[in-house]
Amino acid sequence: MMSTIVKLVQGSPEWHEHRAKYRNASETAIVMGESPWQTPYQLWELRTGRRQQEVNAAMARGTALEPQARAAYEALTGHVMQPLVLVEGDYSASLDGLTFEGDLLVEIKCPYKGRDSMLWKQVEAGEIPAHYRWQLEHQFMVSKASKGHLYVFDGTEGLLLEITPCPERWQAIHEAWKGFIRCIETDTPPALTDRDKVIRKDAAWQAAAETYVHLKSEAELLAVRLDAAKEALLGLSEHPSESGFGVAVTRFWKAGSVDYKRVPELAGLNLEDYRQKGRFETRVSVGK
């Protein structure tokens, strides 16, 4: 099947409407469970209208710098690149640039921390993060380009890493998207990860939460009154040990804790080897 060029301005309302209907390259790492920023469940919430996409400072910076980065890339390589939206079946890819011959694509990244970013250091070492590899594989699958460039731009200069497609990975992309689309069609959330937060809206949770908030507020007011009563007792006590009416006030010396970082003999010693077994703890908080 040949890919089709869709005439859309990337970032426009029409482009967002288009993305809502297709399996997009920039979402493939999420669907594969490889994205460090978003989980399949969070993407499912977006695609089913349960939450809205937020644009953070890093995303805004990348969008603003992309034309400048593309010009720097073209000056470096001599290639003339055209940004395109391509479609093949149910799959779509918004390319930062493709040669007129269609044999070379470029994916531009403008990390917020520039040269100090982990991405810059990885590309400088000839490495490509797994989540960007899946994005590029999706782009190769749709465009049929034989070569790609990952170009990282810091606002002035850039780094280039050449990549070739691995068609043997494409089946994994198809399978992951097939499962994810099934979750959308059946309105069934994907498996949750430790990074997910489920928003409860059921009546049982509401009742328990409102009771907790009310009692916590009362407890905080009582804690203030309790501290005041304690201060009154301390102000009345004159001896190291006094008691009366069921209350005792005792004063005693407690040695300070050891600052292990200041112990010369421990310098360079990995104290993690001496850490006791960890445990799961539960925290209930208000206002989140």
- The conformation of residue 284, written as its DSSP 8-state character, comes to -
Identify the pLDDT of residue 4.
Answer: 77
Letter string b/e over residues 102-115, b meaning 16 or more CB atoms within 10 A of that residue's CB: eebbbbbbbbeebe
Q: What are phi and psi of 100, to 5 degrees?
A: -65, -30
Question: Which residues on neighbouring strands pair with residue 84, listed in sequence order?
Answer: 95
Residue 255 lies in a domain: yes
On whether the CB atoms of residues 147 and 61 are closer than 8 A, the answer is: no
Identify the pLDDT of residue 44.
Answer: 96
Domain that holds residue 118: 4-185
How far apart CA 110 and CA 117 sit, in angstroms, is 10
Looking at 185, 219, 244, the residue that finishes a domain is 185
Residue 47 lies in a domain: yes
Identify the pLDDT of residue 236.
Answer: 95
Identify the pLDDT of residue 26.
Answer: 94
| Displacement of CA 266 from its chain's centroid (Å) | 36
Identify the pLDDT of residue 195.
Answer: 93
In this prediction, the residues of the chain whose per-residue pLDDT falls under 50 are none
Identify the pLDDT of residue 2.
Answer: 56
Q: Supply 135's token pair.
A: 């994005």
Q: What is the pTM of this model?
A: 0.76
Q: How many domains is the chain partitioned into structurally?
A: 2
157 shares a domain with 210: no
How far apart CA 68 and CA 212 sit, in angstroms, is 53
46 shares a domain with 19: yes
How far apart CA 24 and CA 31 sit, in angstroms, is 10
167 shares a domain with 243: no
